[in-house]
Structure 1
């Protein structure tokens, strides 16, 4: 992953987008405000939504010992769905936060507060992305379709969470890790307890990385009365991050044991190496954490794509053992 400092606002660019992203370089000018509204110029969110899907699919295949062409479709459909639903969710978030975003330095350049996209146009764009996601969801079994429909609930609630709780990151975790349940069910046809434990482990991971991310806005959030775990933990954030790190590793490890207990000892050990190695990556992030370094916080946050890919690689290798 390329770690770049935030780019200056020009020609509608958003301040915390990745420099040289494909939207700014290649997308037709008329589509750029809408793609920026979907955060297509900041792909880390799509990765963070997608990776729990791939965890769930990989552990489901470990448990059943099955792999077919349909599983390749599940993996691809999750990628397409993650891109679309992340875009729809971000559009909804920016609609509900349009007054708040204009008061925060990092978000004031987003398309709605900057005046590049109106609320009605944003609502229409959100609907298009949601309907395309529904088309993909309908290729799954009925149990997975039902789970996909339920996922809309935490997505709808999340933008309002920072108004009524100091723990909005929990609601983000509920939404962003739903794919672990969905992909597991798309493969197996029913929900199993390892998938639920994996889901909770993903929520702990979200608490880890989004607390780091939220420290970028802590001062602005305090001025406008927006709540977050970064503000709640304050100078004690490092200790809380250690707890979330431990919870992530332990819960994902328990999910691995539940899914791979009937596989060979070597396969189980290799699969357990996924959360173990991910934990070391999170420990590295914790060592880099400096609440006063906004650019560093953004780099750490973006590095979670690599952290989340580590279990996928270990689970894939374990399947062949």
Structure 2
């Protein structure tokens, strides 16, 4: 069964029961495709472990992981609302709930609001400075889907939205945001530009037809080279992060594994095939996990 077939649920002609409606909302927020949650979760965990010096309080970890899932899901709902006029013209997205008529635009807005309120309720477990910072996260999440109308680099806004959990984690644990936190934030922003460009490459031809902007279109025939340069820059920033923190061998072994995965992604996209672009995008989950495992084992070994 293809991913497109998974997204398609017959709408029927009779009344929609609440279980069916919940299923449709689950598709709207991509619960059947958790890759977005994972890509947001990994840098959040990096930040929590660094800010907590290897032992972050588990209730704070739970709050952030839950917040990641809720805000990513809210982002999917507002993204589909923003793209409701485009998704039906793109092969990969024409079966999405709004485009296929399973969910109305008003329902999508309602889902976004409810999930955002649920995420906001988690702030009661965090300090006031972190609560104030969360307003920026909400703004970035709401604005990002509309950026593809105005700039070829909406991925930068996505990266800021995904990366904002990094300074929030430091503020939640230490009530300050040190330079290493902003370095990690910049690293996360670059990473989003890498994987979301790979993702956008899948739709590049359709996006050109309907006038949607993306980094994949901006980079053109230099796409592989620019992604490679961004990957190299990200590894360098992670090296600098490790040096600032005084991390040990296991952290750097994790970086070596991450560099190997980036090389594998370059091999995947060598022929510029849409399916390979998507495989490279998915492989970033392994990258984030390898970096976290290296960090985790390093703290367990050296403190």
Would you say same fold, with TM above 0.5?
yes
Please name the residue that 1:300 is paired with.
Answer: 280
Aligned mate of 2:249, from 266, 269, 276: 269
2:294 matched to 1:314?
yes
Separation in 2, partners of 1:292, 1:238: 9
Residue pair 1:216, 1:291 contacting (<8 A) in 2 also? no
Please name the residue that 1:8 is paired with.
Answer: 5
2:229 matched to 1:243?
yes
1:1-321 alignment to 2 at 5 Å? 6-8=3-5, 11-12=8-9, 28-62=19-53, 67=55, 71-258=57-244, 260-261=245-246, 267-290=247-270, 292-320=272-300, 321=302
1:108: Cα distance to partner? Answer: 1.1
1:133: Cα distance to partner? Answer: 0.4
1:280: Cα distance to partner? Answer: 1.7
> What SS does the corresponding residue of 1:170 show, helix, strand or coil?
helix
Gaps of 5+ in 1: 14-26, 262-266
Separation in 2, partners of 1:193, 1:10: 42
CA displacement, residues 195-220 of structure 1 (integer Å, 9 cap, x when unaligned): 10001011111111111110110000
Give the TM-score taking structure 2 as reference length.
Answer: 0.91
Residue pair 1:95, 1:119 contacting (<8 A) in 2 also? yes
1:88: Cα distance to partner? Answer: 0.6
1:257: Cα distance to partner? Answer: 2.3
Residue pair 1:257, 1:272 contacting (<8 A) in 2 also? no
CA displacement, residues 116-170 of structure 1 (integer Å, 9 cap, x when unaligned): 1112211111111111101112211222222222111221221111111111111
Summarize the Cα distance change of 1:132–1:9 in structure 2 as closer, same or farther, 3 Å threshold: closer
Residue pair 1:53, 1:182 contacting (<8 A) in 2 also? no
> What SS does the corresponding residue of 2:5 show, helix, strand or coil?
coil
Gaps of 5+ in 2: 11-17
Length, aligned pairs only: 294
Summarize the Cα distance change of 1:52–1:9 in structure 2 as closer, same or farther, 3 Å threshold: closer
Separation in 2, partners of 1:94, 1:31: 16
Residue pair 1:173, 1:203 contacting (<8 A) in 2 also? yes
Separation in 1, partners of 2:271, 2:102: 32
1:292: Cα distance to partner? Answer: 4.0
What is the root-mean-square deviation in Å for CA atoms of aligned residues? 1.9
Residue pair 1:59, 1:256 contacting (<8 A) in 2 also? no
Residue pair 1:52, 1:178 contacting (<8 A) in 2 also? no
1:229: Cα distance to partner? Answer: 1.0
Give the TM-score taking structure 1 as reference length.
Answer: 0.86
Separation in 1, partners of 2:61, 2:273: 36
CA displacement, residues 91-110 of structure 1 (integer Å, 9 cap, x when unaligned): 11111110011111111111
1:9: Cα distance to partner? Answer: 5.9
